[in-house]
Amino acid sequence: MTSLDPSADEAPRARAQVEVEEVTPESAPTGPLTGDPTGLGLACFIMGAVALGLSLVGVVPARALGAPLAIILGATTVGLIITTIWAAALGQSAVATVFGIFAAFWLSYFLLVTALIRGWFGILAPDVTATLELFLITWLVVVVMLTLATLRLPLAFTVVFVLVALTVLFVLLGTEQASAGLTKTAGYILLAAAAVGVYLFFNSLSLATGGKAMPLGRPTLR
């Protein structure tokens, strides 16, 4: 039986409309996140690489282990963590993985040096060299693994990874042999990695500001 009162039909419609609006409010976020976190990540990596590289080549005395820590923790580590979260939010798994690994490296380096300076973790003076070797071997394995896993990236990225791996290797050799020369060589290699990072940074910012891509080289694997 049809009701003769128009308000009787309008009331259910009004309630339904209110329910739909409550489920899908206009204030809900619409559309995916945008942007490219690579520029931020590269800039933060460059800062840490330059600071540590200059320390390794002897710009500051070898006894000043804590000299680059402010930059490594306050700028590089924090910036790379932000980059990792940003990339993960965009669904860029490879970018998030790369920068997340580097964030972990710089944070672990900060903790290691601080622990040696402050006497944390029960590391005695005779065990310092073995502790450094443990740290360096572990990270050498990880960096080599990362390098091999990202050979499909443009060649410039592979060059950075290879240079970082060589840096860790030469620091390891310098530690084992107590060689200042090998340690300085590691510093120069790391500065070279920072230089390639600068090139990649300009490529990223060129694209972000509407410019053209810079030549990065063909991937080693396709």
Residue located via tokens 């200042």:
180
131-145 residue pLDDT tens = 999 999 999 999 999
Let me know if residue 101 belongs to a domain.
Answer: yes
Assigned domain for 27 exists = no
What confidence tens digit (pLDDT) does each residue in 58-96 have?
999 888 889 999 999 999 999 999 999 999 999 999 999
Whether 88 is covered by a domain: the verdict is: yes
Q: How many domains does the chain have?
A: 1
Burial class (CB in 10 A: 0-12, 13-18, 19+), 3: exposed
With a cut of 60, say whether residue 54 has pLDDT above it: yes
What percent helix, strand, coil does the chain show, rounded to 5?
A: 75, 0, 25
Within-domain flag for 55: yes
In a domain, 22, yes or no: no
Residue with tokens 């006497």: 119
pLDDT higher than threshold 50 for residue 2: no
Question: Which residue range(s) make up the domain with 186?
Answer: 38-208
Query: Is residue 32 situated within a structural domain?
Result: no
Single-letter amino acid code for the residue at 215: P
Q: Is residue 171 part of a domain?
A: yes
**Encoding tokens for residue 44?**
């933060």
pTM, full prediction: 0.83
Q: Is residue 112 part of a domain?
A: yes
pLDDT band for position 33 (cuts 50, 70, 90):
low
Q: So what's the pLDDT on residue 23? A: 40
